[in-house]
Amino acid sequence: MKIVAFGNPLLDTIVLLKSDALLKKYCLEKDGQKEVSQSEMKALVADLEEYEKTFVAGGCAQNTLKVVQWLLDKKCAATMFGSIGGDSEGEILKKILREHGVDTNYVTQPGYITGSTVSLVTGESRSLVAYLGAAEVMSPQDFSPNSHIIEDANLVYMEGFFITKRIQVASAIVNCCNRLNKQFVFNLSGQYLCTDYTQTVVDFVQKSSIIFGNKREFQTICPPMNESSVENLIKNLGKQGKIVVVTDGAKCVNCVGGGETLEIKVPELRAEEIVDTTGAGDAFVAGFLSGYLLKKPLKTCCELGNYAAQEIIKRRGCTIPDYPPVLK
C-alpha cells in the first residue's frame, strides 16, 4: 500500500483561550480557517506570549498521513510532498514525520521560512490561523522532477489548502494522476477556499475519485455546480463513479459511492472527553482512507473515520496516541 499526499508542511502551535477576545480582535470565526500575512502572524504570536502552548508537526495532509500510519501500524508507504524553508523548523518537521513512519519529499525554498499554524481553542471549537511561508512557494518545475513518486501510489491525496497561490502546480499534479490513471483524492478543506477558488475547486472535484468535505463546504459549491442541494450534488457525483464523503460535526456522516447511499451515525462523546477538535477532520480522512486501502466496505471506512477523529479529539492537537488502534 502506498499513499502520496500534497499539502502544506506546517509547524503547529496550539493555544487554549479563556475567552473570545482574541478571535474578535483578529476577526476570526470559531471552527474557521484564515490565512494571514507574516506581520499579522507576528502580532498574533506577540498577543499569545503569556499563554501556554503545545507544538506539533501539522498541516492537514501531514496530520492525515501521521494518523494513517498509526492505524495501519506503519505498514503503508506514506510520502509527504510540499515546500519548507531552509531552517531548523523544516528539519524538525522531517524528524517528527520520520518518527511517525512518514517519508518526506520536501522542496526547500531558499529565502523563505517554514510555514506555521496557530490553533486557538475555545471549549469544543477551534480557529486556525495560518502563515504559509515557504509552503505556498512552488512551481510546476518543482514538481516535474518528482512526478515519479506517484507512479506506484495506490492513492494520491491533496488538501484543498494546497491550491492557494499554486494552482498551476496543483493542476499539473491532478493532470498527472489522471494521465497515469491514479485515484486522486481531494479535500475541500475550507469554506473560504470554495468561495475564493471556486472554479479550481469545481474542476478538481470533477477530476477526483474521492472527495471529502463538510456540509458547509459542499453547500458553497452547489450553485457553481448547478445543484440545488448537497443531497443532489453528492448523488449526481456518485452517479459519475465518485465516492463523496460529507461530514457535519457530531451529526451523521453522509457517503455516496459504488451505488450506495449511506448515513453513518457519529458515536456520542461525553463533553469531558472532548479535549481539542484540532485535526479531527484530518483524522477522519485518515480513518476512511485506511479502511479504503484495506478494501473495507464504505460503511466500515466511515466508521473508521469516526473512530480516528474521536481518538484525536481526546488529545491536545493532532498528536498520535501511544496505544494501538482498535480496528474492525
Residues that are catalytic: 282
**DSSP category for residue 49:** T
- Give the CA distances from residue 284 to residues 3, 83, 137, 152, in Å, rounded to whole numbers and listed in that order: 16, 24, 28, 24
Distance between CA atoms of residues 133 and 83, nearest Å: 9
SS3 content of the chain, % helix, strand, coil (to 5): 45, 25, 30
Which among 7, 317, 293 has a CA at the least distance from the CA of 160? 7
Question: Which 3 state secondary structure label does DSSP give 218?
Answer: helix
Cell of 27: 476577526
Amino acid at 1: M
Distance between CA atoms of residues 88 and 144, nearest Å: 26
Cell of 268: 456520542
- Give the CA distances from residue 277 to residues 49, 91, 196, 252, 294, in Å, rounded to whole numbers and listed in that order: 22, 27, 25, 17, 26
Contact in structure between 162 and 197 (CB atoms under 8 Å): no
β pairing state of 33-35 and 125-131: parallel
User: What are the residues facing 158 on neighbouring strands?
Assistant: 6, 186
